[in-house]
Amino acid sequence: MRPVAWWKIALMGASFLISLLYALPSLMGGAPPWWPQWLPTAVVSRGLDLQGGLYLLLRVEADKAVEQTVENWVDEVRGELRKEKIAVKGVERSGPDALTVKLSDQGDPGQVQAVLGKMYPHLKMESEPGIVRLQLKEKEAKEIRQFAVEQSIQTIRSRIDQFGVAEPTIQRQGEERILVQLPGLKDPSRAKALIGRTARLEFKMVDEKGDMAAAMAGKVPPGDVILYSEAPAKGKNGKNVGKQPYLLKKRTVISGDLLTDARVNYDQFNEPYVSITFNRQGARKFEQLTGEHVGERMAVVLDNTVYTAPVIREKIGGGKAQITGSYTTEEAHDLAIVLRAGALPAPVSILEERTVGPTLGSDSITQGVRSMIIGSLLVIGFMAVYYKGFGWLANVAVTLNMLIILAALAGLQATLTLPGIAGIVLLVGMAVDANVLIYERIREELRMGKSPLAAIEHGYDRAFLTIFDSNITTLITALILFQFGTGPVRGFAVTLSIGIIASMFTSIYITRWLVEMILKNRRVQRLSI
């Protein structure tokens, strides 16, 4: 038997000590007050199925982002043609991915194409008598859709982070879907409203000269739009008379993408409102607009709903404005969150929703831990009875294996799910499987007449390749599950991957070192196997 190298003993001791330090906070339900801060304090994160929460599968209506992009070009095209002194009858969106320029009688289609071709090289242009049609190329439309999904993920993540949910899962699924998991959430309806709100903030001028009665009858003036108030208006008798209609200019004079901050403040009556701050460009534009439209009304529109339409009394500098309404403090806080995080580039719809209660999560933990204990006791009992002294060495390795898995989950801040617990139960059996192969090989060597020490040497050496091959193939499978799986499947894959690596270390090396230390300087005539 080879002498035991000092570095092997040091490595085994360090593995046990480090694993114990990382695992103890989780085993104790959190680091106690006396626990030194310089030691690991992280605990294993529990997944949605273990502590309850909200599961959402969202679909981004990316085609709406394409439509909005083309709609934004209407004003740009109109302004560019006006700057070049090219007279046109109108510019309007003529489809989800196209806009049409209607020329005046003296309009030259070639001149329009020459001007707009430099400005929009990514658009296809076609001309007919009196009309120039601009259409988005399919490649550009695809990029806009992809960017809409990516931006939606970032916006939703920003909103959730400000909402205060710990360890959320937000990831893309397929082309236009987003998976959102919010473990430990206590108010699912509020979270859904926060996540799904488009939060497109716009400032539009009220059409003071327009005929509201005619507009309500279907004769909306060109360039105008009818939008309604958020809350029902009050009649002379104080009763609700329905949401108030507003006749607004369709053109957005300032958009929410010029905001830098949004905060909740309180007025003299202790009613909450949202104070917004523009960036330098927005502040300059806001000051200019308010100076040009003194005495007129400017509507604050959020997701096509008019929140307020105050009269501009004077030029407003400083880049600040207010959004008032009948809010609770919680509603004002959520509005400030979505404005700070920015608008979603396209609306999102909920395809699938599941709410897991904390009671169900507690039951899952209890049943999972119970199954893990029962499974471990059965395996430990079998190994102790069937392989005697060597079986107890395998049981020591299994115990250390469980400790390493717990420590790795805590140290890596991986999320433990119910399938993850199932993976740990599976790993208890897999951890002793390697020892079973080694011990059976040792028994075979003994039957062939080898001495006990030689049988141990050949048993470990010759079983290694078989164990290595089987574990590597399982590890590859776990990595594929992690790459292409979602939610609980990924949790299972993480636990399985960590466990396979840990079991290779404990089953092959730890047990061999223990055997070497026990049999050091001894003349062994018989093995307890």
Q: Strand 177-183 to strand 169-173: parallel, antiparallel, or no bridges (unpaired)?
A: antiparallel
**pLDDT digit of tens for each residue in the chain (529 aa)?**
555 567 777 877 888 888 888 888 888 777 778 888 888 888 887 777 777 788 889 999 998 888 888 887 887 788 788 888 887 888 888 888 888 888 887 777 888 888 888 777 778 888 877 888 888 888 888 888 999 999 899 889 888 887 777 668 888 888 889 988 888 777 788 888 888 888 888 999 999 888 888 889 888 888 899 999 876 655 555 555 578 899 999 888 888 888 888 889 888 888 898 899 999 888 998 999 899 999 999 998 988 899 888 899 888 888 888 888 777 888 888 888 888 888 888 889 999 888 877 655 567 677 777 887 888 888 888 888 888 888 888 888 888 888 888 888 888 877 777 788 888 888 887 778 888 888 888 888 888 888 887 888 888 888 888 888 888 888 898 888 888 776 677 778 888 888 888 888 888 888 888 887 777 766 767 777 7
* Residues 304, 434 share a domain: no
Assess whether 109 and 233 both reside in one domain: no
Q: Positive or negative, the Cα torsion across 246, 248, 253, 255? A: positive
Collect all residues with Cβ–Cβ distance below 8 Å to 135 and sequence separation of at least 6: 95, 97, 98, 123, 124, 125, 126
Burial 1-21, CB ≥16 within 10 A → b, else e:
beebeeeeeeebeebeeebee
Domain assignment of residue 316, yes or no: yes
| Residue 155 in domain | no
Whose tokens are 């360039």? That residue is 223
Structural domain includes residue 134: yes
The count of domains in the chain is: 3
pTM of the model: 0.65
285, 320, 354 - which closes a domain: 354
Task: Find the Cα–Cα–Cα–Cα dihedral 499, 501, 505, 506, rounded to 10°.
Answer: 10
Same domain, 235 and 344: yes
Last residue of one domain, picked from the residues 304, 327, 354: 354
At 122, which CATH number? 3.90.1070
Q: Which residues pair with 103 in a beta bridge?
A: 88
CATH code of the domain containing 509: 1.20.1640.10
Residue type, 203: F
Q: Which of 109, 138, 167 is the last residue of a domain?
A: 138
Please report, for the chain, how many H helices and E strands are present, in that order: 14, 19
The residue among 16, 25, 40 whose CA lies nearest residue 403 is 16
**Same domain, yes or no, for 306 and 248?**
yes
Do 488 and 414 share a structural domain? yes
What residue numbers bound the domain in which 39 lies? 6-51+359-518
CATH number of the structural domain spanning residue 296: 3.30.1360.200
3-state secondary structure 246-310: EEEECCCCEEHHHEEEEEEEECCCCCEEEEEEECHHHHHHHHHHHHHCCCCEEEEEECCEEEECC
Do 103 and 75 share a structural domain? yes
User: Same structural domain for residues 322 and 432?
Assistant: no
Sequence-ordered alpha helix ranges (H) in 95-137: 109-119
